[in-house]
Amino acid sequence: MSEGGMESGEKQAVSEEYAAKAETMKNKANEFFKSQRYQEAIEWYSKAIDLDPSIAVYYGNRSFAHLKMESYGYALSDATTALDIDRTYIKGYYRRASANMALGKFKKALTDFEAVKKARPKDQDAVNKYNQCNKIVHQQAFAKAIAVESSKKSVAESINLDTMVVEETYEGPRWEEGEMAVEFMTGLLDWLKEEKKLHRKYAYKILLRSKEIFEAQPSLVAVSIPDSSDRFTVCGDIHGQFYDLLNIFTLNGLPSQDNPYLFNGDFVDRGSFSVEVILSLLGFKVLYPDHFFMSRGNHESINMNQMYGFEGEVRAKYSQQMWDLFTEIFNWLPLAHLLQSRVLVTHGGLFSRDGVKVSELVDIDRNRQPPEEGWYSTVLRPLRRKVGTPLYSALSGGRLVLQRTPPSPLPTAVDHS
C-alpha cells in the first residue's frame, strides 16, 4: 500500500504554526522513507508527532518505517495509536495486521486484514494478505486438532545416508568418511558460487551432523574467545544473500579457530540463495563447532519460511523431506550467546523488565516453534522498551547487549546489522 492516509478524526488543540511545522517535518520524513533511510524517517516522524500528536497519519507512517526496520513491537504500538485517533484510518489496520503477522499473532492480524479487505475489496494486495493469513490460521487450527500426545518421530531418524548414491558424473565437493575437512568447505563455497547444487547426500550429512551439535547446546551458549583471536565477528541478517556472505568472508577472512564468527539469525528468506547460505553456515558449524556460532532469528520458523520463500526454495532445489529436516534444526538453534560473560547477543529485542537473569534464558525450552509471547518470543523479535532505559540493564550483571536491530534510536544501542 502506498504512503499517505485518510483524514484523521477529532484533533487536539494545536496552533496553526505547530501544525504547519509538523506537516513540514512529516514531508521531510517521507523523503527519507522514499530513500530507504528508515531510521532518519522515524526520527522526523517523531518530531512531527511531538508538535502535533493528533494526526493518525504520522503514527501510521512511522509504523510503516518501523516495519521496514523489522521493529515490529514499535510498529504495532504506532498503528494502534493511529487507530485510537481515527478508527476510519484504513492503513492503520493494514500496518497493525502486518506487525501482528510478523510477531506470529495471526488471528489478530486476520481480523485487521479482514477490515481492510472489506473497506477496499479491489485492493489485490490486501486480498492476498488476507488469504495468506487466513490460510495460516486454518493450518494452525488443523495442526492443533490432529495433535497427539505421543512425540512425533524425527525426520532425521528416517534418513539413511548409506542408501544415497553419489553419481560418478558428480564433480562437486565430496565429504567421504571421517570428520569434515577444510578443503570440503572451501570447495563447497566455490561450487555454490558457480550456482551448482551440492549433492543431496552431502547436504543431508551437513544437516544431520549440525542437528546433533545444536541438540547438545543450551538455549543460551556461553562463548569464551580464545587468546589467539584478535577479534570476534558478529554478523546480522543474511536473508539468502549468498554473494553478500562470500563478500563478508573475503573482507574478514574465512571462519577458523583463530577467526571465530557468530551469525545472529535470519539466515534465510527473501533472497534467492537461502539454501546456499544455510548449507554454508551449517557446514562451518560442523567444521568448527567451538568457534562458529549461530543463533535463531524470527525467520527460522515455519510460518515465516512459508511466507517469505525458504520452504519453496528447499522443495524446488531438494525435497519436502529436507525442508522438514531444516525445521527440526531451526527448532534446536540456540536463542542467545554470552560472550566472555560480558556481552549478550540476541537476534530480537530486549526484555520488558529489568533484572532478567541468565538462568531464565538458559531454562527456555526451545525445541518448538516460537510462541507469540514470553522470553522465547522476545529474543527473536524486536519489541518495545521504555525509551531512556539503559540497554545493559536488561541483563542482570551484563555489560553490553548486541541485538540485530535497535528497537529505538538510543545512544547506548549497538547495531551490528
Give the catalytic positions in this structure: 299
- Planar angle of CA 233, 234, 240, nearest 5 degrees: 115
- Say which amino acid occupies 85: I
The three-state secondary structure class of 345 is strand
Q: How far from 310 is each of 18, 101, 300, 318, CA to CA, in Å? A: 47, 17, 9, 12
Burial of 211 (0-12, 13-18, 19+ CB in 10 A): buried
Residue 193, C-alpha cell as written in the block: 558460487
The residues pairing with 294 across neighbouring beta strands, listed in sequence order, are: 263
Pairing mode, if any, of strands 292-294 and 261-263? parallel
d(CA 362, CA 385): 22
Describe the strand order of the beta sheet including 220-223 as a list of residue ranges.
220-223, 336-339, 343-346, 400-403
Please report the DSSP string for 358-381 in residue order: HHHHHT---SSPPPSSSHHHHHHS
The residues pairing with 346 across neighbouring beta strands, listed in sequence order, are: 336, 403
